[in-house]
Chain A
C-alpha cells in the first residue's frame, strides 16, 4: 500500500495546519510490513493448518538444548511456559507477582468464547470470525481471527481438563451465555469468575512443570530491558524486587506475555501493577508498537466516587444479558431511581439499537453512555454514571436465578458501593480497560525483532479497534497453549547447535549497565514529588484528551501537556527508600517513566489516525447518526510505530485485507 500523507479533507473547524505540522515534526512514514498479506484467492480458513505444516520442528531429544524465556504468568504466559515445558524445552518463567496465580487474567469475569457451535442458534466458526472482525471494525488481521476461532474448541476442552469447572446445564453439558456484539450464545463461563478459574488452572499447570523441572519460575522479578544481539532477541535484564539486584538472563528466544497498558489512565479496570514496562522497553530496543491509540473503554465499570479512588472496578459485561440500561429522560432528575416512572426513563440502547439492544458492542455502549452523561442525564452523586437495572429480570426469572447467574458480581457491587443492586439499579460508567494495541507481530506472533515473540494482551491483531467481550481470555489462552508452542520452535529450529549468549558478552554487559544507569537516574533526580502524583495527573489528562472520544486539536494539546508532565517528572521526581532492597517506589517510578512515553505515543497515533474506528472515535469523523465513520481508502492498515534513536517515530503500516468478511459499515440497529 502506498503511504498516504496525512489526510487533509476533514470536517471544518479543526486546526488542520497546526496538527499536520505537529505530526510531521513527530513522525515520518516508513514502509509496508509483511505481516500477513492474504491474497484474494486464498482461503483464510485454511491458513493456520497450512502454516503449521510449513513450520520447522525440533525433535524431542533436541528440545532440552533450547532455553526460552517467558515473561508474565497470566493465561498467555503460564500457558506458553507450561506447554513448552511439557514439550521438553527449558523454560525460564518470570513474574513480578509473588505467585503466578495472581496475574491479572485472574480478574476477568464473564467468560471465554468458543466457536463450538453446538447449539442450533446458527453459530459457526465462520460466524465467530465475522463477529470478531466486524466487532473490531476491520482493523484487526482476518487470518488471526480464523486461528483464534479454530483453536477455541481445543482451548475449552484443555482448560476444562486441567481443572476449570465450567458451568454446566442440568443435563450435564457445558453451559453458554451471550456477550456484547453477537446474537448467538457462545460464551463459556464459571459464574463471574471465569478468568480466575482459567488462571488458577493455568498456573497449576505451570507449577506442575516447575515440579517436573522443565520450568524455572522466578517470582517477584521484573523485566527491565531486552538483550538484542546479532539482530535477534537473546535475553532480558531483570530486577529482583526483593533485593534490588539487576541481572541478565539469556536464552534462544524470548516471549513477552505481559498484558496491556490500560493502566496508563491511572484509574482503569486493571490491577494496580499491570504496566507497560516490559513491552515498552522492548519497543525502545526496536520492536514496533502497533495501534497504540486503540484502547477499550468498558461500559460497565463502576463510576468514580472519590478523588482518592485508586481504580475503577469492572462489572462483567454479562450483566447486560439481563440488566437494562437507562437514564432519566429529564436532565438532572433528582429523584431516586425507583421513584422515576417507566414513562420517564430512556432505555437509550434499546431505543437506538433495537436489534442488539443492551448487548451492543462495548465501544458503542461506552460512547452512548458518555453521550447521555455529557448531555446532563448522568445519575448518581457526581452525575457521572447510568443505571443498569435488574428489576425486570428479577420479576421475570426470580431472584434465585439472578443470584446464580451474577451473585458474586452483585456482592462485589454492594461491597464497593454500599448499595443493594437487588432493590435499586446499579450505577455504571465507561472505564479504561483493554488495550487492543500492543507490540506488533507477524502471523507467527514474532515481533519485528527476530526471536522476540508476544502473546495475549501485550500483542495486537485479533481484536482490531474494539474487542468483543469474552475474546480476551480466548486470545490469551490460544496464544499461550496453541500458537506459541507451534511458532516458537519454528524459530528455535534454525538455531540448533547454537549456545545461549554468554553472560559476559558485550551485548549483555551493555544492557545491564544501561538498566542500572536507568534505575540510578530515577533515584538521583532528588525532587519533591513521588511517582504516583505524576501518574494520577497523566491519567486525568489522557481521559480528557485521548479518552472515549478524541479530536485533532485536543490530541495536539494532549501531546504538549504530556511532554510538560514528563519534563517535570524528570526534574522533580522523588524516589524514597533504598535501591538495594524491596522498594515499591522504584518500581512505580520506572513504570511511570514508561507511561509518560507511552502516553505520548498513544496521542501521536490517535492524532495520526485521521478516521474513527471502533474505540478510536475522532469527533471530526462521525456519521449523521453519531456513529464512527471509518476511512477504508486511507486507513485500512495497522500502524506499527518504530522508535528512532532521536525519540521521533516512524510509522510503518501493515495493509489489512478482508477476504472472508467483506468490508462493511458496522450497524447494530
Chain B
C-alpha cells in the first residue's frame, strides 16, 4: 500500500517546527506504524536527508517509550493501544496520515516526535513508592491478600507510563496516571503505612499538570486500560488524607 506521511519536524526544543510531507510506498498492512517510520528513515538516510527522530524501545506495548499523535489522536486510531502496536491496516491505501509529537504544554518537544515526559517521574518521586529498605521485608505469605485484591492492584499497576493520558486531556491533567499509582499502592499491604502522606504529596506534585474536568478522553487512549475510577481514586485518597490527617 501507499501512504503520505505528514510529519512534524522540529530541530530542537527552542526551534520552530512545521509539517513536512513524505510519500511512503511499498508498505503493507502488517507494518506497525513505527516500522513504517523505520522504512521512511531508511529512505531518508539513503537520500542524504536527516531521519525523523522518534522514541521507541520494546515495541511490544509495555515499556511506554513510544508515543506520537496520529491524526490528532494520541497513539493512533485503535483505542487503548500504544503507538508501537498500531498497524497500517488501520489506514486506507493512499491515505494521508498526520504524525505529531504528543501535544501538551507539559511535554516540551525534544526533537521531531520526541518529547520530554520527566514530569511523570516527578510525581512518582513525590511519594509513588514504598519506604521499605532491602532486606527488611516480612515473609510475603505472612499477610494474606485476597485474589480479588491482588487482581485489582494489578489492574491499577498496569500503567506503562507512556503519558498519553496527559496528551489526550484538554486540560493536560495527569490525574489518571497519579490516581492509578495511588490505588495500586493503597491496595498492597506494605504500602498502606504511608497511604495518607503519599496521597497528599503525589496530589500536590500532580498539580504541575492541569486540573481534571472528567472529560474521560484519557481513558480512551490508555494502552493499559486504566479505568476512569482511577481518577475518582485520586480524589478519594486525597480526601481520605484530609479528613484523617495522619500518615496512613
Give A residues with C-beta under 8 Å from B: 79, 82-83, 86, 97-102, 104, 106-107, 118, 154, 156-158, 160-163, 165-174, 190-191, 193, 196-197, 200-201, 203-205, 207-208, 210-211, 219, 242, 271-274, 305-306, 308-311, 313-314, 412, 415-416, 418, 481-482, 485, 528-530, 532-533, 574, 576-577, 581-585
B34 and A83 form a contact (CB under 8 A): no
B150: nearest chain-A partner, CB-CB: A168
A163 touching B157 by the CB < 8 A rule? yes
Do A172 and B53 form a contact, CB below 8 Å, given A305-B30, A530-B45?
no
Q: Which of B11, B62, B147 is A106 in contact with, Cβ under 8 Å?
A: B62
Interface pair B12/A581, CB less than 8 Å apart: yes
- The answer to whether A99 touches B46, judged by C-beta atoms less than 8 angstroms apart, is no
Q: Are A158 and B132 in contact (CB under 8 A)?
A: yes
Q: Are the C-beta atoms of B64 and A101 separated by less than 8 Å?
A: yes
Chain B, 37-49, contact with A by CB distance < 8 Å: what is the 0/1 string? 0110110111011
Q: Which of chain A's residues has its CB closest to B120's CB?
A: A99
17 contacting pairs across A/B (C-beta < 8 A): A82-B134, A102-B64, A106-B63, A160-B137, A160-B140, A162-B190, A165-B150, A168-B150, A170-B147, A172-B144, A172-B146, A196-B158, A309-B35, A416-B85, A482-B135, A532-B41, A532-B42
The interface of chain B, by Cβ under 8 A from chain A, is: 11-12, 27-28, 30-32, 34-35, 38-39, 41-42, 44-46, 48-51, 53, 55-65, 81, 85, 87, 89, 110-111, 114, 116-118, 120-121, 124-126, 128-141, 144-147, 149-150, 153-154, 157-158, 160-161, 184-185, 187-188, 190-191
- What would 18 more interface pairs be, CB under 8 Å, given A191-B154, A207-B129, A271-B57? A97-B57, A99-B64, A156-B140, A161-B130, A161-B138, A162-B130, A165-B150, A168-B146, A168-B149, A168-B150, A170-B146, A172-B146, A204-B130, A271-B63, A415-B85, A481-B135, A533-B42, A583-B53
Residues on B with C-beta less than 8 A from A582 are: 12, 53, 110-111, 114
Q: How far is the CA of A482 from the CA of B53 in the complex (A)?
A: 39
State the CA gap A97–B12 with chains docked (Å).
18
Q: Is the CB of B57 within 8 A of A165?
A: no
Contact of B58 among A99, A106, A170 (CB under 8 A): A106
- Chain A residues near B124: list those with CB within 8 A: 203-204, 207
Q: Contact at B38–A310, with CB atoms within 8 Å?
A: yes
Q: Are B63 and A107 in contact (CB under 8 A)?
A: yes
- Tell me which residues across on chain B come within 8 A of A311, comparing CB atoms: 59
Q: Name the distance in Å between B45's Cβ and chain A's nearest Cβ.
A: 4
A157-B139, A168-B145 are contacts. A576–B65 as well, Cβ < 8 Å? no
Nearest B-chain residue to A98, judged by Cβ: B117
Do residues A219 and B45 form an inter-chain contact, with CB atoms below 8 A? Answer: no
Q: How far is the CA of A401 from the CA of B5 in the complex (A)?
A: 43
Whether A118 contacts B141 in the complex (CB less than 8 A), given A308-B31, A308-B35, comes out as yes
> Is A581's CB under 8 angstroms from B35's CB?
no
| Measured CA separation A496–B44 after assembly (Å) | 54
Check A165 against B187 for contact (C-beta < 8 Å).
Answer: yes
Distance in angstroms from B87 CB to nearest chain A CB is: 8
In the bound complex, residues from chain B placing their C-beta under 8 Å from that of A416 are: 85
A519 to B11, CA, bound (A): 20
Q: Once the chains bind, are B58 and A161 in contact (CB under 8 Å)?
A: no
Residue of B nearest to A311 (CB): B59
Contact status A165-B31, CB under 8 Å: no
Quick check: B58 and A165 within 8 Å, CB to CB? Answer: no
In the complex, are the beta carbons of A271 and B38 less than 8 A apart?
A: no
CB atoms of A197 and B157 under 8 A apart: yes
Residues of B contacting A83 with CB < 8 Å?
133-134
Known: A207-B128, A582-B111. A163 touches B60 (CB 8 A): no
Check if B63 sits within 8 Å of A104, measured CB to CB.
yes
Contact residue among B46, B55, B110 (Cβ-Cβ distance under 8 Å from A242): B110
Complex Cα spacing A306 to B34, Å? 14
Residues from chain A with Cβ under 8 Å of B160 in the complex: 196
State how many angstroms separate the Cβ of A444 from the closest Cβ of chain B: 18
Compute how far the CA of A577 lies from the CA of B9 in the bound complex, rounded to whole angstroms: 13
With CB as the reference atom, state the residue of chain B lying closest to A528. B46
Given the interface contacts A157-B138, A207-B129, A308-B31, does A418 sit within 8 Å of B89 by beta carbon? yes
Residue among A97, A165, A205, A574 with the highest chain B CB neighbour number at 10 A: A165
Kindly provide the distance from the CB of B95 to the nearest chain A CB, expressed in whole angstroms: 19
Rounded to whole angstroms, the CA-CA distance of A274 and B65 in the bound complex is 13
Residues of B within 8 A of A97 (CB): 57, 65
CA distance A210 to B35 in the complex (A): 36
B140 and A577 form a contact (CB under 8 A): no
Would you give the shortest CB distance from A570 to chain B, in whole angstroms? Answer: 17
Listed residue (B41, B51, B58, B153) with the most chain A CB atoms within 10 angstroms of its CB = B58
Cβ contacts under 8 Å, B145 to chain A = 165, 168, 172
Q: Which residues of chain B are within 8 angstroms of A272 by Cβ–Cβ distance?
A: 56-59
State which of B62, B116, B134 has its C-beta within 8 Å of the C-beta of A158: B134
A204: which of B49, B50, B128 is its contact (CB, 8 Å)?
B128
Which residue on B lies nearest to A114, using beta carbons?
A: B140
In the complex, how many angstroms separate the beta carbon of A111 from the nearest chain B beta carbon?
A: 14
Which residues of chain B are near A106, meaning CB under 8 Å? 58, 62-63
Residue of B whose beta carbon sits closest to that of A485: B134
The 4 closest A-B pairs by CB, nearest first: A172-B144, A161-B137, A530-B45, A165-B153
Contacts of B42 in A (CB 8 A): 530, 532-533
